[in-house]
Structure 1
Amino acid sequence: MHLQNTTYTPIAANCTVDTSYRFTFYKTSYSMIFIFGVVSNCIALKRFCRMPQAFTSTAVYMANLAAADIFFVISLPLRIYYHHNKASIYNRTRDWSPGVAFCQLTFTLKYISLYGGIFFLVCIGVDRYFAVVHPLVQHLRKVHTARLLSVGIWCLVLALSLALPFLYSAASQRHKSCLLDPSSKRHRALILAALGLVLIAYLLPALLLLFSYCSVLRVLRRLPRRRKIRHRRTLTVIYWVLVVFFLCFTPYHLNLLGYTLTQVGLVQSCGLAKVTKVLHPIVLSLASTNCCLNPLIYYFSSSLMHKEATVSRGSASQ
């Protein structure tokens, strides 16, 4: 999300900071993420194709998480193209203005991946919660249930991913559809509405994920040492999901909160405005590395999914 420096309640005129580095930084980081994202997710899809026929609920959520990553990888060339052209404008070597359709498509693909990744990481956490804390409640872990829930999540993600670009477009500058204009009360309200949706889409899954995994860890801590060893893979998956979720998404959303509030003038802090503006490209790129780190979760959970699939086939044959 790009905001103009002019705000409804202006920050001091001398509160500026040079962020020209962002064009080269974005192009470099997105190019690296694109390469690693393509390679790692192709390997992940290859592993899914080799999975046993008796798919498990965990495998369903993993497959959907991989699909969300692919959406993001697809969007990266568009974003690299955008920042390449913005750099040309900044250096006054050419004129270029992205159209509404370009901005809508780029933002939509970005949010499909970002919040698809968040929601399906939470699904993996809740799935582990029922597997460990309530193992007798098996109907919530059936493959059919997981597929229905996945369809519902995709509908929610698509609705959110289409709503956010619509709000941004309504609050954008005339003839500059990728830049938000917080210079009027109406535009400021639209920007804050988009910020509210973004924060809710992060905070609720974060709380649910923490509850699920804290409950799982509490149960596993009570087990005898011999049984704890059997759940080593479950613990590894838990730790990796927590690391990926909070490392990638928390800095981005915290910085976005401060960045937006200073740009629309609700928080009058020149220092915060400078820091969040400088950090914005860094935390956004960090959030984007999610698509490269998720395949590590697939790797650590592959034996777990294979074991559950074997148990599922054994139960079905009885």
Structure 2
Amino acid sequence: MVSTNCSSEDSDSFKYTLYGCVFSMVFVLGLIANCVAMYIFICTLKVRNETTTYMINLAISDLLFVFTLPFRIFYFVAKHWPFGDTLCTISVTLFYTNMYGSILFLTCISVDRFLAIVHPFRSKTIRTKKKAKIICLLVWLTVIAGSAPAATFRSTNSAKKDNGTETCFENFSNDTWQTHISKIVIFIETVGFLIPLILNVFCSTMVLKTLKKPVTLSRSKLNKAKVLKMICVHLLIFCFCFVPYNINLVLYSLMRTQALSNCSVITIVRTMYPITLCIAVSNCCFDPIIYYFTSETIQNSIKKKNWSNRRKEFGFSDTFPSENFIQHNLQTLKAKIFDNESTI
């Protein structure tokens, strides 16, 4: 028990109803948004760099998680897991793989932007597609290593022995928390959240300081405005989705290992846990926003496609020699001016 004076019962009606509604919306929106993103990455996007490599892996991570949501939604509605221990373990493993994979891939994008703006010359040999692929592989290995230990102990438990109702990754004993789950929490919170949070804040701060230096005054205001908007959107989504859940997870772990015994705090932690979990799950719906604001290449691809469709609607041809000539000269001029700047 958590405490002899504190109620340890969760409000199932509140928790499962919330999970069912939010996970259903996330499934629909996340599936559509990430399928569209993958279509753009694979079929529409002609220019790919190290940033888009991170984005593609992030979208793959989101889709893997989205595909497991129908099983979770059924579980939340029926309050029973009939799919067995293996599928429960896979579902939970993909959940944490997605969450901390998203955190690490977003951190990779933040570090890549930091190198491109703060160290544009020295980072030319570092920021390559080949090295980006190697980093992505290391990220996958890290999140899998952090999530895999969940498979070492039974993920399903009998909630009611009289009718055989099974729960998935719930109702673990305090001993299980102390011997297994708490150790997993320590690893994923350190490697998957704390270090990436520090890197994101540091990189964003350094980029903002660099933009204020006189050497960057020659850059257009529009370019600076885009970078500022990029940083704001990135940090906002990162902090909104991941900070509340990970802070609450630490407190929840302390509660389950009996290191936290204050009844008022325990009540708040138990109430906030499903809320922060739902916010964290919504990250796969917000990631496509990161794609748009982070990559100018994607913006241009979408705008070009929309402009092409509009010209077809009004009966214009797809090619205008004079327009292409002007665009070519403008792009050439821009390339000469920003020749020393790396693509973000």
- For the aligned residue pairs, the C-alpha RMSD in angstroms reads 2.6
Q: Which residue of 1 aligns with 2:85?
A: 100
Gaps of 5+ in 2: 159-165, 301-331
1:142 and 2:128 equivalent?
yes
Question: CA offsets, 1:176-231, max 9 Å, x none?
Answer: 662353343x6513232122012112101111111111111110122327544323
TM normalised by structure 2 equals 0.77
Q: Give the secondary structure class of the aligned counterpart of 2:259.
A: coil
8 Å CA contact 1:37, 1:291 repeated in 2: yes
Superposition pairs of residues 156-167 of structure 1, within 5 angstroms: 156-163=142-149, 165-166=150-151
Q: Which residue of 2 aligns with 1:205?
A: 196
Alpha-carbon distance in 2 for matches of 1:258, 1:128: 33
Decide which of 39, 56, 61 is 1:63's aligned counterpart.
56
Alpha-carbon distance in 2 for matches of 1:80, 1:285: 12
Q: CA deviation at 1:76?
A: 1.0
Superposition pairs of residues 235-250 of structure 1, within 5 angstroms: 235-250=228-243
Q: CA deviation at 1:149?
A: 1.1
Greater length-normalized contact order (CA 8 Å, ≥ 6 residues apart):
1
Alpha-carbon distance in 1 for matches of 2:277, 2:156: 20
Superposition pairs of residues 59-208 of structure 1, within 5 angstroms: 59-86=52-79, 99-136=84-121, 137-163=123-149, 165-166=150-151, 169=153, 178-184=169-175, 187-200=177-190, 201-208=192-199
Alpha-carbon distance in 1 for matches of 2:112, 2:72: 34
Question: CA offsets, 1:49-70, max 9 Å, x none?
Answer: 2112x41111111111111111
8 Å CA contact 1:19, 1:278 repeated in 2: no
Q: Which residue of 1 aligns with 2:45?
A: 51
Question: CA offsets, 1:65-89, max 9 Å, x none?
Answer: 1111111211211211221221xx6
Q: Give the secondary structure class of the aligned counterpart of 1:294.
A: helix
Gaps of 5+ in 1: 1-5, 90-95
Question: CA offsets, 1:15-53, max 9 Å, x none?
Answer: 65634211111111100111111111122112212112x
Q: Give the secondary structure class of the aligned counterpart of 2:169.
A: strand
Alpha-carbon distance in 1 for matches of 2:8, 2:205: 43
8 Å CA contact 1:30, 1:80 repeated in 2: yes
Alpha-carbon distance in 1 for matches of 2:21, 2:156: 27
1:221 and 2:186 equivalent?
no
1:281 and 2:274 equivalent?
yes
Q: Which residue of 1 aligns with 2:245?
A: 252
Q: CA deviation at 1:245?
A: 0.8
- Runs of 4+ residues over 4 Å off in structure 1: 13-17, 170-177, 304-307
TM normalised by structure 1 equals 0.83
Alpha-carbon distance in 1 for matches of 2:36, 2:117: 29
Number of aligned residue pairs: give it.
Answer: 293
Question: CA offsets, 1:118-174, max 9 Å, x none?
Answer: 1100000000011000001211111111111111111112222212x136x269757
8 Å CA contact 1:171, 1:190 repeated in 2: no
Q: CA deviation at 1:293?
A: 0.5
8 Å CA contact 2:157, 2:170 repeated in 1: yes
8 Å CA contact 2:6, 2:263 repeated in 1: no
Q: Give the secondary structure class of the aligned counterpart of 2:61.
A: helix
8 Å CA contact 2:61, 2:102 repeated in 1: yes
Alpha-carbon distance in 2 for matches of 1:46, 1:269: 50
